[in-house]
Structure 1
């Protein structure tokens, strides 16, 4: 910083960074509201989540902080902006909007320069100057901490979602067969869990980094469950025409999976574990039941239940 940089310059830089933050928040807010109102898909679809409003709140809070020459707000704004841009580029698979990114970073960086210089120059002019008012400790820091924690949590979950989509993590919901990666599909074939002439319709595994230890699936011919016990793979399966009854033993929740019991005409029993996320368990069960042929005795029992009702 050169000797000509004075208090007016510091004020100007901090104010410009604040205005840039407010403009960014306004544009983002308008995009989010427009996307939510129109249920937009495609490029605008990523803005349709109301959780994005937390990001807007953080940027606004930083903009307000810069009006008071807050160094914490200035640093937070730069770090958040860089992280958000990195995640966005990872999602798109390529760099985009680099010109605007550097323009906004330029103004946000001026906020850091201006806020630090402001307090230094005030302290040099007045040794009794207090850079941070008491109310800042009791209000701005706690509120800012809460907002920042929510944003970091959101970015972390979003990052995990990107990792899951890349195949590094197993999807935590029931997925369709065409969402299985080629490597996972090959693993199912190599382990003999599915046959070469079968097509996977739905799949779910409780694994974290691999589906090799357990899984539940529907193919166009069978319902299958498998698990690895002490290193030995156990596969349980039944053709749809051999399924006697499908029983929901326990409904799942945000912690536990739904447990489904499969009874066969040969008096065999095995269990399926299905994630209730996005009602994937119900989709799986409905598809399974639609493929199980109705047995005459089951039809008769159903008529009896209807008459009793």
Structure 2
């Protein structure tokens, strides 16, 4: 054997990815779509607020929220458990802070729908990683 040849490794060995059930994929997809919708709505209200229209306590600082929401939605798209959990926590905390700041609770039905999809995203990402681990 020639000592000057590069080492040879068997790289053709592939780990077979398990079949992910459509229900799991659907939960993840619905969660990141809900995140994209939430980010788009936050962006719209932020743009309205900086253009002079009064929009429920929104201001230019909400661009940080927009970036965070879209980032977490992308993380859910990439099947990140941490992003799924953080999205739900962030959404609930932001709704509570908005209710405290404005003094009124509005959009409860819509908030419950988003919470449902984010919770489903958590279930989907955890199920996905459980399948991959096996």
Contact 2:25–2:124 (8 Å) recurs in 1 = yes
- 1:148-169: CA deviations, max 9, x gaps? xxxxxxxxxxxxxxxxxxxxxx
Output the CA distance in 2 between the equivalents of 1:112 and 1:91. Answer: 28
- 1:232-281: CA deviations, max 9, x gaps? xxxxxxxxxxxxxxxxxxxxxxxxxxxxxxxxxxxxxxxxxxxxxxxxxx
Query: Whose RCO is larger (CA < 8 A, sep 6+)?
Result: 2
Q: Name the TM-score, length of structure 1 as normaliser.
A: 0.36
Do the aligned partners of residues 94 and 45 (structure 1) sit closer, same or farther apart at CA in structure 2, a change above 3 Å counting? closer
Q: How many residues align?
A: 115
* 1:91 Cα offset (Å): 1.7
Output the CA distance in 2 between the equivalents of 1:95 and 1:30. Answer: 20
Structure with higher strand content: 1
Contact 1:62–1:77 (8 Å) recurs in 2 = yes
Structure 2 regions of 5+ residues with no counterpart? 1-19
Structure 1 regions of 5+ residues with no counterpart? 1-5, 125-309
Q: Within the alignment, does 1:27 sit opposite 2:41 as a pair?
A: yes
Output the CA distance in 2 between the equivalents of 1:82 and 1:90. Answer: 12
Q: Which residue matches 1:12?
A: 26
Q: Which residue matches 1:40?
A: 53
Output the CA distance in 1 between the equivalents of 2:73 and 2:132. Answer: 21
Structure with higher helix content: 2
Q: Which residue matches 2:103?
A: 93
Output the CA distance in 2 between the equivalents of 1:9 and 1:99. Answer: 24
Q: Within the alignment, does 1:120 sit opposite 2:130 as a pair?
A: yes
What secondary structure, in the 3-state scheme, does the structure 2 residue paired with 1:95 have? coil
Q: Which residue matches 2:94?
A: 84
Output the CA distance in 1 between the equivalents of 2:97 and 2:91. Answer: 10
Do the aligned partners of residues 123 and 24 (structure 1) sit closer, same or farther apart at CA in structure 2, a change above 3 Å counting? same
Q: Name the TM-score, length of structure 2 as normaliser.
A: 0.80
